[in-house]
Amino acid sequence: MASRIVFFGPQGSGKGTQAEFASHALRVPVIATGPIFRKSIAEKSELGVLAASYIQHGRLVPDSLTIEMIRKRLQEQDVNNGFVLDGFPRTSAQFNALWEITTMDAVVVLELSDEEAVSRMGGRRLCANNHQYHLTYKPPTQEGICDVDHLPLTIREDDVETSIRERLEIYHRETEPLIEQFRVRGTRVIVIDAKPPIVEVRKSVATALGISL
């Protein structure tokens, strides 16, 4: 069974949710760069201070910082049996750096139109511990409150229209071509329609990866 998986998909495709699901089902950690950066910003760590303005404006954090962060993370013991990547690699430099560290078993691509992505992102909410919700597709039990830790839910600072458009543009220009790079190097690429409800997409992900629900 594949256990080194990378998720691709535009903002709003449910990539974070599906990557979490795969990580639990496979009992391997999820390594999600966006949440790591947001945590670093909240903690005002050195990485957070350096990354903050890029993230706020919907731009990519420089490769040097991002690659170093992932390189360190992939040296930890808990990734020995596999891991799920969410949000990395996003550029060809990141792809090359990852390839030097390890090969991946499968790439899961969640496909969604830009129109749908923009409309979905308007409803995204999250708590300070990065538990994610959507007002329509994954609402919390109590309005505005996280089900898990009861913290208030907020809108991500970069989920504003201009930043959303910028991030989608970067996704198509810089990140999407990497899928082909994986394919030509022999990594299995699984393409899944991300338009159906979360549970349906989850079933497709599970079937494709051979994991039970």
Token pair of 211, please? 């994991």
CB atoms within 10 A of CB 78: 11
Strand runs labelled E in the chain: 4-8, 30-32, 83-86, 106-111, 124-126, 132-134, 188-193
| 134 near ligand AMP, judged by CB under 6 A | no
- Which residue of 87, 153, 192, 201 would you call a contact of ligand AMP, by CB under 6 A? 87
Residue type, 114: D
Q: How many residues bind ligand AMP (CB under 6 A)?
A: 17
Residue 150 DSSP symbol: -
Among candidate residues 120, 124, 125, 202, the one labeled active-site is: 124
Binding mask 92-131 for ligand AMP (x = CB under 6 A): --x-------------------------------------
- For residue 28, give both structure tokens: 């391997």
Task: Give min distance, CB of 194 to ligand AMP, in A.
Answer: 15
- Whether 55 and 61 have beta carbons less than 8 Å apart is answered as yes
Q: Which of 5, 40, 82, 90 binds ligand AMP (CB under 6 A)?
A: 90
Residues between 27 and 46 with contacts to ligand AMP, criterion CB under 6 A: 33-34, 37
Residue 61 binds ligand AMP (CB under 6 A):
yes
Nearest distance, CB of residue 183 and ligand AMP, angstroms: 19
Query: CB nearest ligand AMP: which residue?
Result: 34
Burial class (CB in 10 A: 0-12, 13-18, 19+), 180: exposed
Residue 90 annotated as catalytic? yes
Q: What is the distance of C-alpha 11 from the center of its chain?
A: 8
Whether 59 sits among the annotated catalytic residues: the reply is no
- Residue 60 binds ligand AMP (CB under 6 A): yes
**Strand spans (E) along 14-66:** 30-32
Contact indicator for 63, 94 with CB cutoff of 8 Å: yes
Stretch that binds ligand AMP, among 19-27, 74-82, 83-91, 121-129 (CB under 6 A): 83-91
- Residue 13 CA to residue 59 CA, distance in Å, equals 19
Sites of contact with ligand AMP (CB under 6 A): 11, 33-34, 37, 54-55, 58-61, 66, 87-88, 90, 94, 158, 167
| Residues noted as catalytic | 15, 90, 124, 156, 167
